[in-house]
Chain A
């Protein structure tokens, strides 16, 4: 059994006529990154908020936060994708739902994909933020209170700045996860990198060239993310603190 490699296919023009297949895949990477970045903003904002709330002394807010985390952690990503794409527009007021459904592609899949990935990842970030805050010595909070800071001031000036530095390494892997997970958006029609590799395979019948190219692009992207996050880690490091290492965790 022998497979004839034909790498030049990457330079051939794709059927849409926008350029070579390689260009077609690179545009796909662009969509992957644009989706992941927008979702990352939502995930960080919501995740930081929910994670922080779950460490406060307000019982009802903690329970609400827990509920939020459990809901979005226990439903598969692809099902959540379908909920945002097929179900949410039907439950919204008719005009708003129709407006979303009638957006020109790729926006009609882009918006649900970003919301889905953002909320999905926010739950994981909320867990990290909570773990980061809980890992701080209790004396930090007590000292803040003794200095006369209110609870929100203690969070703003003492607890959160330290917690965020502690959780930078797990946040690195979350930012790689969000890039990988954005591929699930192909199921609602967003032509990101994996979707385009699949489409290229269907147009050109060059299966392994298409998937190899996509794999290499993903590997290079991961490398870039790791480098960027390492620079960030060094920039914000608190002198004297040992770099925090995480406990083994399940993931995907």
Chain B
């Protein structure tokens, strides 16, 4: 069987303009949303009010115990119902693959970011919180000005490593037929019957991006280690 690597060159524009844009935008949105929601979850998990802590803990553990693919399916079908419930519509509303993917990955990754932020918050000395209160700051001020900035800073390398994993995981939107980088490549591959060439190319691109990012994280880690 002959190989035809021209197919890659012919579809480069489509692959990157459509596919990679989808992948990168989804990654950035889910990262931002996931870190914000994850930090809130972490604060809830550490809250002294037991029912809230248990609720947040239950959510995080549930998300972490079932496969991402199942979560993607869940949200793909659940979001239209939740949307209808919020807007008061009588029928499930229409939600495209894009919106569904953004919501899914934000909610799913939040569980993982939560555990990272929880470890970060717990790594801050208790005295810091006490001195915050002693200065007359309330809970939100203490968290916002003293604890979270330090926790976040300490956890930046782990948060970024998690984001690299998120970047790779977004390829699973393939199962809801979204046109991310893999989805775009797979459409071209099946149209031109060039599966070997396209999937090899996809693997190489993902490798280059993830590996470069992991080198950046490693460098950052060394830098932070020196400052401490």
Does A74 have its Cβ within 8 Å of any Cβ on chain B?
Answer: yes
- Given A90-B1, A208-B77, answer yes or no on A180-B66 (Cβ-Cβ < 8 Å): yes
A172 surroundings in chain B (CB, below 8 A): none
A252 CA to B68 CA, complexed, in Å: 8
Given A1-B85, A74-B207, A250-B116, decide whether A211 and B165 contact each other with a Cβ distance below 8 A: no
List chain A residues, Cβ under 8 A from B103. Answer: none
Residues of B with C-beta under 8 A to A251: 112, 162, 165
Q: Which residues of B contact A248 (CB under 8 A)?
A: 115-116, 119-120, 155, 158
Is the C-beta of B127 less than 8 angstroms from some C-beta in chain A?
no
- A230-252 to B contact mask, C-beta < 8 Å, 1/0: 00000000000000000011111
| B55 within 8 Å of A (CB atoms) | no
The stretch that binds A, out of B5-13, B128-136, B141-149, B171-179, is: B171-179
Whether B165 lies near A80 (C-beta < 8 A) is: no
Other-chain residue from A74, A80, A184, A215 in contact with B172 (beta carbon distance below 8 A) = A184
Contact, CB under 8 Å: A207 / B206? no
When C-beta atoms are compared, the residue in chain B nearest to A88 turns out to be: B196
Q: Given A1-B90, A86-B199, A180-B68: A77 and B168 within 8 A (CB)?
A: yes
Interface of A is mostly: helix
Question: B210 near A: Cβ within 8 Å?
Answer: yes
Q: Which residues on B sit within 8 Å (CB–CB) of A82?
A: 186, 195, 199, 202
CB-CB under 8 A for A222 and B199, given A248-B115, A250-B158: no
Q: Which residues of B have CB within 8 Å of A207? A: 77
State the Cβ distance, B61 to closest chain A Cβ, in Å: 9
Q: Does B24 contact A (CB under 8 A)?
A: no
Q: Are A183 and B67 closer than 8 Å at their CB atoms?
A: yes
Contact (Cβ within 8 A) A83 B68: no
Note all chain A residues with C-beta closer than 8 A to B74. Answer: 211, 215
State in angstroms the CA–CA spacing of A170 and B222 once bound together. 24
What distance in Å separates the Cβ of B31 from its nearest Cβ neighbour in chain A? Answer: 12
A252 touches B112 (CB 8 A): yes
What is the CB-to-nearest-CB distance from A57 to chain B, in angstroms, rounded to a whole number? Answer: 23
Most buried by A among B67, B92, B202, B207: B67
Pair B70/A218 contact, Cβ less than 8 Å: yes
Within 8 A of B (CB), among A68-109: 70-71, 73-80, 82-83, 86-87, 90-91
Does A79 lie within 8 Å of B171, measured CB to CB? yes
- Does A214 have its Cβ within 8 Å of any Cβ on chain B? yes
Q: A59 to B174, alpha carbons, bound, how many Å?
A: 40
CB distance from A63 to the nearest CB of B (A): 15
Q: Shortest CB–CB separation between residue A228 and chain B, in angstroms?
A: 15
Q: Assess the B158–A87 pair: CB atoms within 8 A.
A: no
Within 8 A of B (CB), among A7-45: none
**Distance, CA A182 to CA B67, complexed state (A):** 8
Task: Tell me the nearest residue of chain A to B120, going by C-beta.
Answer: A248
> Across the interface, do B162 and A250 meet the contact criterion of CB distance under 8 Å?
yes
Is A204 an interface residue when CB atoms closer than 8 A count as contact?
no
Contacts of B65 in A (CB 8 A): 176, 180, 218-219, 222
Chain B CB within 10 Å — which of A70, A76, A77 has the most? A76
Asked if B73 lies at the interface with its beta carbon under 8 angstroms from chain A, I say yes
Q: Are B182 and A79 in contact (CB under 8 A)?
A: yes
> Once the chains are docked, how many angstroms separate the CA of A249 from the CA of B164?
13
Would you give the 0/1 interface string for B57-82, flagging 1 where the beta carbon is closer than 8 Å to chain A? 00000100111111001100110010
Query: Are B73 and A70 in contact, with the CB atoms below 8 A?
Result: no
* B150 located at the interface, meaning its Cβ lies under 8 Å from any Cβ of chain A in the complex: no
For residue B227, CB closer than 8 A to chain A, the reply is no
Query: Would A75 and B119 be within 8 Å (CB), given that A181-B67, A184-B69, A194-B70 are in contact?
Result: no
In the complex, what distance in Å separates the CA atom of A65 from the CA atom of B89? 57
The answer to whether A218 touches B67, judged by C-beta atoms less than 8 angstroms apart, is: yes
Could you pull out 10 A-B pairs where Cβ atoms are within 8 angstroms? A74-B206, A74-B214, A78-B171, A82-B195, A83-B203, A183-B70, A211-B77, A218-B70, A248-B116, A252-B166
Binding site for A on B (CB under 8 A): 1, 62, 65-70, 73-74, 77-78, 81, 84-85, 88-92, 112, 115-116, 119-120, 155, 158-159, 161-162, 164-166, 168-169, 171-172, 174-175, 182, 186, 195-196, 199-200, 202-203, 206-207, 210-211, 214
The 3 residue pairs across chains A and B that have the minimum distance between CB atoms:
A248-B119, A74-B210, A183-B67
